[in-house]
A and B are shown apart, each in its own frame.
Chain A
Amino acid sequence: MSKKFRQWVKRYQDDAWSLARYLLKDASEAEDATQEAFIKLWNQREELDPERIKPWLLKVTRNVCLDRLRHRRLTPELETPEVHGPVADAQRDELGRWLKSAIANLEEPYRSLVVLRDMQQHSYEEVARITELNLSQVKVYLHRARKRLREQLSEIRP
Chain B
Amino acid sequence: MNESPDTNGWEDQIGALLDGELTDEQAISLRAAAEHDPTLARAIDGAIELRQIMSKIPAEPAPRRLRKQLRQIPRQNRVVDRSGFLQLRWVMASATAAIAVTIAISQMWPQGPTDAQITQARQEFNLVLAYLARANRKTSNSIRLNIGHGFAGPVTKNTVRIISNQFGLDKE
Contacts and interface: CB of A to CB of B under 8 A. Distances in A.
Interface in B48-103: 49-51, 53-54, 56-57, 59-63, 65-67, 69-71, 73-75, 77-78
A96 B62 CA distance: 19
Interface stretch (B39-47, B129-137, B151-159): B39-47
B2 interface: yes
Among A16, A31, A146, residue most surrounded by chain B Cβ atoms (within 10 Å) = A146
Interface string A142-157: 1110111111011001
A95 B56 CA distance: 10
B1 interface: yes
B142 interface: no
Interface residues of A, number: 39
A39 to B, nearest CB: 6
Nearest to A9: B70
Nearest to B16: A139
Interface stretch (B7-15, B29-37, B114-122): B7-15
B70 A96 contact: no
Interface in A74-91: none
Interface residues of B, number: 36
A35 B70 contact: yes
Interface string B1-26: 11110010001101100000000000
Contacts of A34: 62, 66, 70
A146 B66 contact: no
Interface in A101-158: 118-120, 139, 142-144, 146-151, 153-154, 157
A27 B63 CA distance: 9
Contacts of B56: 96
B59 A14 contact: yes
A142 B60 contact: no
Residue among B57, B62, B65, B67 with the highest chain A CB neighbour number at 10 A: B62
Contacts of B3: 144, 147
A1 B12 CA distance: 43
A38 interface: yes
A99 B67 contact: no
Contacts of B70: 9, 13, 34-35, 38
A146 B14 CA distance: 10
A34 B65 CA distance: 12
Contacts of A151: 2, 4
A148 B47 CA distance: 10
Contact of B73 (A16, A39, A154): A39
B77 A43 contact: yes
A18 B59 CA distance: 8
A21 B71 CA distance: 19
Q: Which 7 A-B pairs have the closest CB atoms?
A: A2-B74, A17-B62, A150-B46, A143-B11, A13-B62, A9-B70, A96-B57
